[in-house]
């Protein structure tokens, strides 16, 4: 039986999430890379492996998973220590809410294929694409910032880094890439800073990946 395989791309925020979870769990899977900017995710070989044509992709003893949240929850169940979700059910629900706000309400609208469709169908130039992304980050971050007012300790939900932080940090990375103004979101900035100080988050950072450009 071979070690698990994680297929990703250094600047994919979804792959970034899984790298953080893997590092927090102390796992050492094999890695492979799909270059999104070159369109390798649309190639026949990769689409046969992952019909969604996206990253990340996790392969483990006959199991294939292709959504970051599914991969992360699978890892948390298979390798329960340290846990990625709080003990109390209410706090677990809050952590999932934050993660899903990012995964469902912000991230998909800034996905490369969405941006390319905006250009193809509506002639959106680079400036319009950036404005589109910043718009949706702002709406989503307003909701997350309000939630953190009642949930945050050192991290998003209490004082231990977990699922919510795993989703927040890559989205803040994206926000900075797109020159989004984070000054109205001090709780998000504080949670991001606290998480990125941890070794697992450092190891998972895009600039520290073998395929980084």
Give the domain CATH number at 177: 1.20.1050.10
Whether residues 111 and 64 share a domain: the answer is no
Among the candidates 53, 82, 111, a domain finishes at 82
pLDDT at 61: 87
**Residue 95 within any structural domain of the chain:** yes
**Residue 147 within any structural domain of the chain:** yes
**Tens digit of pLDDT at every position of the chain (213 positions):** 579 999 999 999 999 999 999 999 999 999 999 999 999 999 999 999 999 999 999 999 889 999 999 999 999 999 999 999 999 999 999 999 999 999 999 999 999 999 999 999 999 999 999 999 999 999 999 999 999 999 999 999 999 999 999 999 999 999 999 999 999 999 999 999 999 999 999 999 999 999 999
Which domain range does residue 9 map to? Answer: 5-82
- Count up the domains in the chain and report the number: 2
Report how far apart the first and last C-alpha atoms of the chain are (Å, whole number): 32
Whether residues 71 and 161 share a domain: the answer is no
Query: What is the distance of C-alpha 4 from the center of its chain?
Result: 19
**Residue 161 within any structural domain of the chain:** yes
Q: Can you give the pTM of this predicted structure?
A: 0.96
pLDDT at 102: 98
CATH of residue 65? 3.40.30.10
Whether residues 78 and 146 share a domain: the answer is no
pLDDT at 1: 58
Whether residues 27 and 61 share a domain: the answer is yes
Query: What is the distance of C-alpha 99 from the center of its chain?
Result: 9
| Ramachandran angles phi, psi of 51, nearest 5° | -60, -25
């Amino acid at each position: 039986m071979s070690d698990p395989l994680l297929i990703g791309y250094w600047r994919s925020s979804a792959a970034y999430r899984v790298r953080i979870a893997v590092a927090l769990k102390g796992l050492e899977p094999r890695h492979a890379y799909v270059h999104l900017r070159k369109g390798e995710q649309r190639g026949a070989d990769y689409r046969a492996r992952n019909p969604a044509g996206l990253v990340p992709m996790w392969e483990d003893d006959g199991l294939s998973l292709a959504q970051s949240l599914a991969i992360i929850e699978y890892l948390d169940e298979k390798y329960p220590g340290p846990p990625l979700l709080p003990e109390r059910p209410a706090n677990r629900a809050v952590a999932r809410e934050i993660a899903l706000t990012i995964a469902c309400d912000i991230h998909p609208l800034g996905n490369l294929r969405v941006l390319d469709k905006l250009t193809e169908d509506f002639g959106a130039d680079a400036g319009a694409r950036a404005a589109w992304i910043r718009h949706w980050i702002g709406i989503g971050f307003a909701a997350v910032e309000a939630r953190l007012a009642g949930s945050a300790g050192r991290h998003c939900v209490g004082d231990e880094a977990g699922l919510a932080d795993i989703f927040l940090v890559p989205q803040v990375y994206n926000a900075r890439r797109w020159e989004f103004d984070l000054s109205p979101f001090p709780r998000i900035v504080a949670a991001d800073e606290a998480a990125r100080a941890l070794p697992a988050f450092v190891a998972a950072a895009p600039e520290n990946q073998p395929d980084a450009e």
